[in-house]
Amino acid sequence: MVRTDPTLRMAAQMARMLGHLTIVGLGGGALPVDFSSPPHECSVASPYWGSLTELMEVITLAQQERIDVLAEHFPLQRADEAYRLLHDGRIHGRAVITPHA
């Protein structure tokens, strides 16, 4: 689940005994934990990066053009617009802001 409060709450509700939750990204949310949530013996992982093997697999897939990246690119001068579109839910995938000379 993406690391935001709403998705982490949903993950805790959907998890099952002996299940596994993987938290992705740096969204700043917190997973609610108490005696019954997540369920007993449910493991939780919050990887910052995959393994070297996984990285090589992703690079191979990218070289084979088998990965579709949903990203909208914005120059630094349009960063305010990009954040506004993100806030309004009008960005499909990721917003990438890059400085241009």
Domain assignments of the chain as residue spans, ordered by start? 1-50
E strand or H helix at 73, and its extent? strand 71-75
pLDDT in tens, 30-43: 888 888 889 999 99
pLDDT in tens, 58-79: 889 989 999 888 899 999 999 9
Contact at 8 Å (CB) between 97 and 76?
yes
Largest Cα–Cα distance of the chain, in whole Å?
54
Contacts of 87 (CB under 8 A, 6+ apart): none
* pLDDT for residue 1 is more than 60: no
* pLDDT for residue 85 is more than 60: yes
